[in-house]
Chains A and B, each alone.
Chain A
Amino acid sequence: MFAYIVRRLFAGVIMLVAMSMMTFVLFFASPIDPARFACGKICSPQQIAQVRKGLGFDRPVWEQWKDFAVGVVKGRDYPADKSLQKSAPNLVAHCAAPCLGYSNVNVTTVRDEFKTRIPVSFSLAIMAFIMWIVGGVGLGVIAALTKGSIIDRSVVGVSLVFFAFPTFFVGLFLLKFLAIKWGIFPVPNYVSIANGGVWNWLVNLVLPGLTLALFYMAGYVRMSRAFVLESMGEDYLRTAKAKGLAPRKILFKHTMRAALTPLVTMAGLDLAGLLGGAIITERVFNYNGLGKLAVDSIAVYDLPTIVGLVLLLGSFVIVANIVVDILYAFIDPRVRVG
């Protein structure tokens, strides 16, 4: 098992290296000159060249990538150009290892930026995750057990409606009615546990969490319904019935365990994707999470932040994949490796 994890992690690191390279290449493949963009509207060619040098965009792509890679391992100073460092030593920013880069736009290291953003996105993701797992699986199982009835149809139908509506619509709808018009919830505004306590943190997360959860829930309702129905046709459930097991026990001990295992994969990967930020929901509720950061940094061609986000998201997904596989080995004895 340990060897398996090491092997997977090793493959994951190689994947991240390749992803960072791709990001550099794609960034410079864009028709828009990032230096010109950073310089502003009225800018002479000399100023653009100066900015380009300051951002380090004047050198070949692969050299920039090399500097970045070295920075991850050893840390580095910004700007990279030695002559610029000499001319303005007070402006030199040090970025300690593991350095993901320094954002001139946000005037801080990418790592520090992440530190303030991650709790927001994580809180949101976990809140939504709990909601959609409980709701989605619960409703899915109920739908499966009442297959063909009016309950089944309405559960599937309603979840589909929420899936079909765009997230920003559902978000704004909830915001308008539940928060602003009826005042059931406060207008959400992220409060960390350290600042406002658990209750405040939680209450402020309900609406954005629900917005996300409603979107994801539809898939989980349908999947868990299908998996439960599928496993109800399994031979071993007939065996369980034939030995005289009570229906409740058949459902909880035999059906559910087999039916819900495949959901682990889905749930793990969905959660990993969401940990990297929910772009639309964060914008609707004005949460300063990773998703909002991604949109903002792309809009202003902030290469260090973009590369950092790509790697962060990539590693979430890679780790989630490994965790899912490990979980599987615990759930399903057949996949246990040596």
Chain B
Amino acid sequence: MTEMDPAVGAPVAEPALAEHHAASRRNPDAQQVLSVENLRMYFPVKTSGIIRRTVGHVQAVDGVSFQVPAGGSLGLVGESGCGKSTTGRLITRLLRPTGGRIDFDGRDIAQLSQRELLPLRREIQMIFQDPATSLNPRHTVGAIVGAPLQIHKVLPKDKIIPRVQELLEIVGLNPEHYNRYPHEFSGGQRQRIGIARALTLQPKLLVADEPVSALDVSIQAQVINLLQDVQNEFGIGFLFIAHDLAVVRHFCPEVAVMYLGKIVEIADRETLYLRPHHPYTQALLSAVPDVKQAAIGGRRERIRLEGDVPSPILPPSGCRFRTRCAIAQEICAKVEPPLLQIAPRHKVACHFAGELGHAPKEPVTMKVCGVDAHGAPVPGEVPDVQLNEPGFSDRWMDLKTGQLTGA
């Protein structure tokens, strides 16, 4: 009931930020604030016997590599269970990874202890999906937003409230409302509080896990715009995790698609959405219902994906997507496709990478994997591929010629 409090429900204070709302662009000269290499997270699966043995692992994240430029953003999309949220939790080190590197600001934080992590917690912040459950209902907004300042002893006590008010103003809330409780705010406003809390310590990296999916459509756009303004203003790097392809496309100049714990395709926005080369990305995009398309000429042809995602405990051999893939062949069951760079900023993990309807007849990965078209090893051929290099190289494989080329 109080959620509808007219005082709170009134139009929010004008944001103190410059409102450009322009979709963020990639800055080619930016340093990487985050560089993740071969990140793995295996959760043990135990037997139910008298002595509980570990019989397998849920391979929630299995060899993931990517980079987030300082002040830039990378989108991580995928369906439930693909490991995108686990990846977010690994990077904020809410979980300790099984293996791999997480280079944050030039330092590997993958295996740091909780105590060593403490100073880093200022630099990496997280925004959660559900603003209703991620804010303590018994604390005032001022206490919630100001808590990081107190914990890290950044400011003397009397300076905390002015700073909190400043932050509330930045996220477009009335600064006088710092002594109200979360339930007095609407869902969108609560997410603004969550953003203010994340901004308190001026982090370098924000991991946003489904930041708008719990919000009403008209509110989603407000929050996305706010995040964009915040990013432009403070130069924060974003790892933007979401299942909504359209939201990610709007927010991130570069996007990675995950399936069953692996990145299957990573590319700049234009390439990924207009010319996806992985059959899963193609299926995912074709499944999104589209207003404009339907308004003009009815439904697009959909790629139907049959069945469900296989279990991450026993993922399919070779390519993990092959069980549901329309163009899978023998090699796909035998050889795991490497995440191959095929353009200046485009990597794809598919033996038959190609635009929709133009999949090559021969696997494009024969040479790099040192196998023949059926996936059998070719004697003498040595696989020459850097599987888990984060970021992009100056040289890539041209799909047409099958040769390495470079800029």
Contacts and interface: CB of A to CB of B under 8 A. Distances in A.
Direct contact of A and B (CB under 8 A): yes
B48 interface: yes
B50 interface: yes
Interface in B235-273: none
A195 B48 CA distance: 48
B49 interface: yes
B50 A6 contact: yes
A293 B356 CA distance: 83
A40 interface: no
B44 to A, nearest CB: 15
A45 interface: no
Which residue, of B47, B48, B52, has the highest number of chain A Cβ atoms within 10 A?
B48
Nearest to B49: A3
Chain A contact residues, majority secondary structure: helix
B48 A338 contact: yes
Contacts of A7: 50, 52
Interface string A308-338: 0000000000000000000000000000011
Interface residues of B, number: 5
A4 interface: yes
Interface in A1-21: 3-4, 6-7
Interface string B51-68: 010000000000000000
Contacts of B48: 3-4, 337-338
Nearest to A338: B48
Contacts of A6: 50
Which residue, of A3, A4, A6, A337, has the highest number of chain B Cβ atoms within 10 A?
A3
B48 to A, nearest CB: 4
Interface string A121-156: 000000000000000000000000000000000000
Nearest to B46: A338
Interface in B333-388: none
A175 to B, nearest CB: 47
Interface residues on A, range: under 10
Nearest to B48: A338
A3 B48 CA distance: 7
Contacts of B47: 338
Contacts of B50: 3, 6-7
Contacts of B49: 3
Nearest to A7: B50
A338 B50 CA distance: 12
Interface string B27-52: 00000000000000000000111101
Interface in B41-98: 47-50, 52
A88 B301 CA distance: 101
Nearest to A6: B50
A4 B46 CA distance: 12
Which residue, of B47, B50, B52, has the highest number of chain A Cβ atoms within 10 A?
B50
Interface in B175-196: none
A326 to B, nearest CB: 14
B143 to A, nearest CB: 31
A325 to B, nearest CB: 13
Interface string A186-206: 000000000000000000000
A6 B48 CA distance: 11
B300 to A, nearest CB: 33
A337 B47 CA distance: 10
A337 B49 CA distance: 10
Contacts of A338: 47-48
Nearest to A4: B48
Contacts of A3: 48-50
Interface in A262-294: none
A4 B50 CA distance: 7
A243 B47 CA distance: 40
A98 to B, nearest CB: 24
A3 B47 CA distance: 10
Interface string A215-242: 0000000000000000000000000000
A335 to B, nearest CB: 12
Nearest to A10: B50
A338 B46 CA distance: 11
Interface in A91-137: none
Nearest to B50: A3
Interface in B147-198: none
A7 B50 CA distance: 6
A3 B49 CA distance: 5
A133 to B, nearest CB: 32
B46 to A, nearest CB: 10
A16 to B, nearest CB: 19
A337 B52 CA distance: 13
B58 to A, nearest CB: 16
A17 to B, nearest CB: 19
Nearest to A337: B48
A118 B52 CA distance: 37
Nearest to B47: A338
B297 to A, nearest CB: 36
A11 to B, nearest CB: 12
A4 B52 CA distance: 10
B148 to A, nearest CB: 36
A337 B50 CA distance: 13
B251 to A, nearest CB: 33
A4 B51 CA distance: 9
A7 B49 CA distance: 9
B337 to A, nearest CB: 35
A2 to B, nearest CB: 9
B56 to A, nearest CB: 13
Contacts of A337: 48
Nearest to A5: B50
Nearest to A2: B50
B327 to A, nearest CB: 38
A6 B50 CA distance: 7
Nearest to A1: B48
A338 B47 CA distance: 8
10 contacts: A3-B48, A3-B49, A3-B50, A4-B48, A6-B50, A7-B50, A7-B52, A337-B48, A338-B47, A338-B48
Closest 4 CB pairs of A and B: A338-B48, A3-B50, A3-B49, A6-B50
Given A3-B49, A338-B47, 5 more contacts: A3-B48, A4-B48, A6-B50, A7-B50, A338-B48
